[in-house]
Amino acid sequence: MTEDPRTIGTIRLLSWNIWKLFGDPLAVHRVLRAAEPDLVCLQEAPALPWSTWQLAALARATGLHLVAGGRTAAGNAMLRSSRLQVYEAEAFRFRPLNWRIQRRGAVLATVGLAGAPQLQVAGVHLSLDPAERHAHVQELVARLSANRLPSVVAGDLNELAGGPSWQALAVVATDPAPDAAVTFTVARPHRRIDVVLTGPGIQTVEYGQWQPDLRDAALASDHLPVLTLIRPPAPR
């Protein structure tokens, strides 16, 4: 089969809040396999002491490899296909503003296709508390800005498009598809809080056109996944 010229050199990136795997795990597997992703950013992934084992098992079941995440990233995780190279990866927790609020974190990885320019991708699940959300975005922006690579931010922002967090993240990555479909909840979609933001020079070839089987999506999670095809900036 001839590859679509539009997709040559693109990375298939899937971002998905998997609801702590409270749903049907086999439905999670089917959705991930059907998407054929190169990179997966998961939110509300397992975060208990044995989460690394659970995430490695999930990766194996879907033909992927665990990059990083779980407990060390407060429930964020990243998986990859064999097609994608990972040069660096870090799982971390944000500084808490209030110890009584659920801990938050992120996974940050430098990735790329063989022979192609590298990107830095952050998978994140922001706080429900506006003040903490703002503080964590500032921390994430500082980390991404220090690296100076083109940035992608993928995750559940717990905030509607155009909100303060989206605006603060625009320093490193902006919304490539303002008219994209809502993502939450699966049963009654009415809010777009799950997103893949892209930095300057990154081409978004496709955003949200692929959709999962809705029955599997409803069995798996209360969030819809977001799939985008992105192409790194051309080398200078």
What is the residue whose two structure tokens read 């155009």?
Answer: 162
Sheet holding 11-17, edge to edge: 65-70, 76-80, 39-43, 11-17, 226-231, 203-207
pLDDT tens for each residue of the chain, 236 residues long: 456 766 789 999 999 999 999 999 999 999 999 999 999 999 999 999 999 999 999 999 999 999 999 999 999 999 999 999 999 999 999 998 877 778 999 999 999 999 999 999 999 999 999 999 999 999 999 999 998 899 999 999 999 999 999 999 999 999 999 999 999 999 999 999 999 999 999 999 999 999 999 999 999 999 999 999 999 998 76
Tell me, what's the pLDDT at 194?
98
Tell me, what's the pLDDT at 1?
43
Tell me, what's the pLDDT at 6?
64
C-alpha distance from residue 140 to each of 105, 169, 193 (Å) = 9, 8, 18
Rounded Cα distance, 177 and 229, in Å: 12
Tell me, what's the pLDDT at 3?
61
Could you give all domains of the chain from N- to C-terminal order, each with its CATH number?
A: 11-231 (3.60.10.10)
